[in-house]
Structure 1
């Protein structure tokens, strides 16, 4: 197993090839190589599996005409080698790579259809000047392609003319070239969100980057690119028309022998081989198949070793835990099994999410692949090759929708037989019907309501349909389009992330042809899907597995995990980046997620995973890299005044000046004593002000401004949204409020719920009635104003969050207005006067509790005798302070002199050198805030 990459149409550039290889080094850490010839460059990363000493790539024929970069394993390479040797071809290694190369040299593209295995390859024909790319029959191994414009650097590097092409096993190498900027493919995103599909065609989530399809090849030359299918497997399977009935012992024997041969082929390796074991029928059949080969001392099982290593993900205490079936499968084997089990937790998954998103490269439809990710991580400590059961569900109708298709097909052909089959399947169908009824009863809207209308409108003509009336068509569609391609991508990325090769015995072309030639009742019979496989394994696996009805597979307890990690999910949905996406209606997403958490609504955790996964993918691959931390920079100049170091001069309406000093402090939490905090930091700041101190000859009047937010926090009036149980009436009333990115934010059902808890439902219903009456006479916004005044007192803006577009934590918490801010101001002033020297206490005018942002300042309460209007002009919310989040206090010096252009004294001519006081942070718990104002 390896990673391949390269280009066509560029000038010689080994540096570019090395960057591409480095971006997927995990696919082949054992060796690397490059090849350059004219317009072509090939790069190879090798994971040595067969002939570890030989088989280095890129590999050339003896005459140098053909050069191969190849990823995969061709399991029938020994038989092919014998045929080639009979045609006078000679070999110098024992690798399957050389067989692939010589087969192409002898048979051209016709060789591909002879390969039984998994492969993605690139072969350069020097004489014809063509580059041929190909992908195996089922698309087990990936291959991506992108057309780019050469960038001539003037020195030959990466130069070229006309169009050029990049290719790679993964997408990251293409992005690493710098020739293709990452951009989202909008249609793919829409289909993923709305229809829950991906990997069902050539398009990827990256605009301008495509994948080769299963069984497809591409030829690139100076004439351009030509794509075509080299295999007829899909068409052959569709055309197969066996009888409806007739499965018998010979059919079961064919299944048993075909799977045994396929497993034996896929055990060929010069490195340790293990098995993925979920506890389901498919993986258990492979595990016991390997065990039978071991106990029979079959030569094909040499790489397994003395004991088979199995690897499982189990989830003790959750509904979808399969450990009991893993136990049964292990017990069905001989004592030559060592069972390894990983027990992922929701904390671990969210800690791994960034790496998991990078690993998969494109979004996935559920968290299920994470279980496989953890299994491969554990397996990499013990083995290099893993076998698992991918493909059996697609070829043997392992999914409920395939059973439904079969019933429709059967009812159309034989109504009596169809009714009998439906009755035999009543338990499976009943589960589906009950789930749909629950969805309708719960209501709560559709997924489309979570998307921005303009995004939906842009893709109004996009639809998705699968073959629904013919079982054979449906199985082929699932094998090559709807289901298996995505699962194979998951497995490839998860295994190769940890330098493990995944092999899939059910996806043997001959085995699949054998199954499709069987009668229909070998697929589904008497209410049982996978009928022939169940019968083939009934003598070696217990009935708990062969007659098991509930299918789980490698998955996670996603529902429970989302409840456990609701805080993490809320943080994403409330983030600034999420609010800017052109895809989601943030308010609707939040409301729907809250509804789902409370056990209501028609959506499920799969819907919210898709949204979450897409947002994390956009951050990882599409969003620009964040700029260096700005918090260490000097204070930004306020637009309301002139910055003088840490002091900002504000020009008041009467022409006089006030100087504002922001006071630094550790982040304030609900465990802090506000009085002690204010006294400690104000007095410490005054000590370092020196000549700026508001005392002595200057006799300047001064005030302490305190953020209403920190007052509310220390009063335990700040709440994380995930701790607020929202009622239906709160959700309904919030729809009447203005949804805004700043200010009161009662358009959020979380804020509305707090308002109900604060003042009672009757008063808010009165406000809603006033708003309705106002709308009749053309007045809008009364609801926000009335609710704000009821909850917040003087100004509704004193209630904050969760504000769309705000930085954390303003976007994940809600703050009610502080209680009795005037009394708080008086208490703080009293404590300050007691702590201050007489000369400072004499000029201290009082404390002002404010709510401030870049739009202005609102006085919530004060004990100062100064007019409120003047106080509100004396404070400006500093943008740098907000970004740093560490300036909850301010000293404001009111000098009352008329502003002029003349210098105002030596100390005002110099640049102030005092920085906001830095006090070592103490260990704190609970809610916190440090936002100024």
Structure 2
């Protein structure tokens, strides 16, 4: 794991070496072991290194043996040894044992098609001296981040994190109105947008190529998740065995490391599966770590301990206070743009704990997306059956009436809180799923913004994010569609962003075997009825794991990695909430309706409604924007 940055001056003026160094220093946390820059007239590349493989000779920026190209790279390529053998047979020479040099020579051999040969997680930039081409690429699922900006039409700048760009003197800090609407809908800003109108994320599975004489980069997609061509199911047991073998192989190739390696163990199905397979592949006990909370209702450590005992892992557990809201501003400095998933707090703590023991950690991220583990999938499919039974001419007015007039019983038992379900049933499938995952319902979103800001949006609806992805979906069933939408939005925008920033803040590399693109490609072809079977999500995944994990881990109710933000904002954070939302920086932006902010805060603090998700999003927005507009990029450097 590393941090990369670079500048290409399109007017061919020399790169400011001091400025490039500054960009690099702001990402030191991503690579605390080493850092260097490379300047060749109008090009500059920078790199921060967390040494994992080829510690002795893998320094970057790296120039290839014939001095024809230079690279900076963040990530790990798991099939680099096989690619190296192939390239050597083609006549290429190597000076290091690193995967970095393999990527560089693969570029020379196969051009931009080289990315299709790489198996791993990556974000890299290559400058080819002969053709004067700048080539950027991001891995298929978006495990590693990459931001870029075309500044004043004269300079292309890129970095692993936004803070690497924010220090540039001509960096455009104009906020993107549509990104703001997206943020308050999703809780994060989906690719390719960033919070700034002039800065973008390179989307997962895409490349960027800027050739000599061009002033606009060409963005091209080289991979997408496919749900076509389902696997024929003749023998479910055989399919279960194949699942385990494929996942075991994905885990095994991620065990190569010259530094201590371990795994997160939350006690959930996915992390437990990874630990179980690691234990069968490693000669030494697996190093595992978990976070426990000092409130029993949030604590899952008994299940982590169950798995640790079964596999005799070297297990470490740390109990932290569930009221750990002091990280609010720290998180804003890590994520650089508004990010509202409150589970970033325990994720930060578990990464902090893991780094005391290991430098590389395997995680179970991706299991819910691949095998339909989220509860919302079950509810969406139930709603889809109702939509199929009740004609739209009847369904829309009936459920519109119920959705509008049924009370929002946030305080009541779950079975009485039907308002959101009624509101979803009045919508078609795509809009209904957006309503389900939204941080802020659409009608509240309009009230949240000022009339002037709503006019600036000019009719834009965040539903457009889902609609654009739906056009590329190649499956044929509604469950696969929402899995695909999550793989394109929630997975890179929320889950993988959360883990990348939290782990890099502590100099920890996290590898995600369940998101191996070959395993994912096979898993996507499993028929939907074997993923969500009745009320059981991850059906085939759990059945496959029965020989490896106890039923108490596999079949217990799913619990999120959450924190009690609703309680915080009625108690210790209530004054902070009022200060920052009603008397702070938000009032100067001209974006938010003060009366709506006041109503949301008052209703929540009094306990008459639960607006905690929207209010947390507002707090994180305020903290992030305050730091951004004040030019503060120092905190996470």
Fold conserved (TM > 0.5)?
A: yes
Change (3 A) 1:440 1:474: closer
Paired position in structure 2 for 1:124: 127
What's the CA shift for 1:607? 0.9
Q: Deviations over 1:698-734 (max 9, x none)?
A: xxxxxxxxxxxxxxxxxxxxxxxxxxxxxxxxxxxxx
Change (3 A) 1:549 1:414: farther
Gaps of 5+ in 2: 391-411, 424-440, 471-475, 633-637
For the aligned residues, what is the CA RMSD? 2.6
> What secondary structure sits across from 2:298 in the alignment?
coil
Paired position in structure 1 for 2:229: 240
Check whether the contact 1:276–1:388 (CA below 8 A) recurs between aligned residues: yes
What's the CA shift for 1:482? 3.9
* Residue of structure 2 aligned with 1:328, choices 303, 306, 316: 306
* Residue of structure 1 aligned with 2:285, choices 294, 302, 307: 307
Q: Deviations over 1:64-99 (max 9, x none)?
A: 111111111001111111211222222222211111
> What secondary structure sits across from 1:494 in the alignment?
helix
Distance 1:218 1:205 in 2: 20
Check whether the contact 2:206–2:223 (CA below 8 A) recurs between aligned residues: no
Check whether the contact 2:124–2:137 (CA below 8 A) recurs between aligned residues: yes
Change (3 A) 1:485 1:450: closer
What's the CA shift for 1:493? 0.8
* Residue of structure 1 aligned with 2:188, choices 179, 198, 204: 198
Distance 2:55 2:612 in 1: 45
Change (3 A) 1:201 1:521: same
Check whether the contact 1:274–1:308 (CA below 8 A) recurs between aligned residues: yes
What's the CA shift for 1:61? 1.4
> What secondary structure sits across from 1:593 in the alignment?
helix
What's the CA shift for 1:18? 0.5
Gaps of 5+ in 1: 150-161, 298-305, 416-429, 626-933
Q: Deviations over 1:604-627 (max 9, x none)?
A: 3111101111111111111467xx
Paired position in structure 1 for 2:52: 49
Paired position in structure 1 for 2:500: 492
Q: Which structure is higher in RCO with an 8 Å CA cutoff and minimum separation 6?
A: 2
User: What pairs up with 1:734-883 in 2 under 5 angstroms?
Assistant: none
What's the CA shift for 1:433? 5.7
Is 1:528 paired with 2:536?
A: yes
Paired position in structure 1 for 2:314: 337
Change (3 A) 1:414 1:100: farther
Task: Report how many residues are paired.
Answer: 578
> What secondary structure sits across from 2:500 in the alignment?
helix
What's the CA shift for 1:326? 2.1
Check whether the contact 2:8–2:15 (CA below 8 A) recurs between aligned residues: no
Q: Deviations over 1:196-218 (max 9, x none)?
A: 25342211012211010011101
Change (3 A) 1:196 1:232: closer
* Residue of structure 2 aligned with 1:616, choices 608, 612, 623: 623
Q: Deviations over 1:666-703 (max 9, x none)?
A: xxxxxxxxxxxxxxxxxxxxxxxxxxxxxxxxxxxxxx
Higher Cα Rg, which structure: 1
* Residue of structure 2 aligned with 1:281, choices 269, 274, 279: 269
Paired position in structure 1 for 2:429: none
Check whether the contact 1:120–1:133 (CA below 8 A) recurs between aligned residues: yes
Change (3 A) 1:394 1:69: same
Distance 1:431 1:517 in 2: 38
Distance 2:187 2:171 in 1: 25
> What secondary structure sits across from 2:217 in the alignment?
strand
User: What pairs up with 1:102-501 in 2 under 5 angstroms?
Assistant: 102-149=105-152, 163-193=154-184, 195-221=185-211, 222-234=213-225, 237-242=226-231, 248-294=236-282, 297=283, 306-333=284-311, 335-346=312-323, 348-350=324-326, 352-407=327-382, 434-437=416-419, 446-459=444-457, 461-465=459-463, 466=466, 470-501=478-509
TM-score by length of 1: 0.59
Distance 2:363 2:118 in 1: 20
> What secondary structure sits across from 1:589 in the alignment?
helix
Distance 1:60 1:230 in 2: 27
Check whether the contact 1:363–1:613 (CA below 8 A) recurs between aligned residues: yes
User: What pairs up with 1:484-563 in 2 under 5 angstroms?
Assistant: 484-552=492-560, 554-563=561-570
Change (3 A) 1:568 1:318: farther
What's the CA shift for 1:360? 1.2
What's the CA shift for 1:317? 1.9
Q: Deviations over 1:833-890 (max 9, x none)?
A: xxxxxxxxxxxxxxxxxxxxxxxxxxxxxxxxxxxxxxxxxxxxxxxxxxxxxxxxxx
Change (3 A) 1:64 1:403: same
> What secondary structure sits across from 2:170 in the alignment?
coil
What's the CA shift for 1:394? 1.3
> What secondary structure sits across from 1:446 in the alignment?
helix
Change (3 A) 1:181 1:228: closer
Distance 2:592 2:381 in 1: 37
Change (3 A) 1:563 1:124: same
Q: Deviations over 1:243-265 (max 9, x none)?
A: 6x656011111111111111111
* Residue of structure 1 aligned with 2:575, choices 567, 580, 599: 567
Distance 1:77 1:581 in 2: 49
Distance 2:413 2:59 in 1: 53
Check whether the contact 2:65–2:93 (CA below 8 A) recurs between aligned residues: no
Distance 2:179 2:173 in 1: 14
Q: Deviations over 1:338-378 (max 9, x none)?
A: 222241442x432x222211001122233111110111122
Distance 1:253 1:413 in 2: 35
> What secondary structure sits across from 1:145 in the alignment?
strand
Distance 2:314 2:354 in 1: 14
Check whether the contact 1:275–1:287 (CA below 8 A) recurs between aligned residues: yes
What's the CA shift for 1:331? 2.9
Paired position in structure 2 for 1:881: none
What's the CA shift for 1:123? 0.4
Check whether the contact 1:342–1:378 (CA below 8 A) recurs between aligned residues: no
> What secondary structure sits across from 1:524 in the alignment?
coil
What's the CA shift for 1:178? 1.6
User: What pairs up with 1:665-744 in 2 under 5 angstroms?
Assistant: none
Change (3 A) 1:460 1:328: farther
Distance 2:519 2:353 in 1: 30
Distance 1:560 1:324 in 2: 24
> What secondary structure sits across from 2:58 in the alignment?
coil
Check whether the contact 2:30–2:48 (CA below 8 A) recurs between aligned residues: yes
Distance 1:540 1:367 in 2: 32
What's the CA shift for 1:474? 2.0
Distance 1:402 1:327 in 2: 29
Q: Deviations over 1:294-318 (max 9, x none)?
A: 3xx3xxxxxxxx4322222222325
Distance 2:22 2:64 in 1: 26
Change (3 A) 1:387 1:438: same
What's the CA shift for 1:122? 0.5
> What secondary structure sits across from 2:453 in the alignment?
helix
Is 1:595 paired with 2:603?
A: yes
Distance 1:240 1:125 in 2: 39
TM-score by length of 2: 0.85
Distance 2:562 2:331 in 1: 15
Change (3 A) 1:190 1:407: same
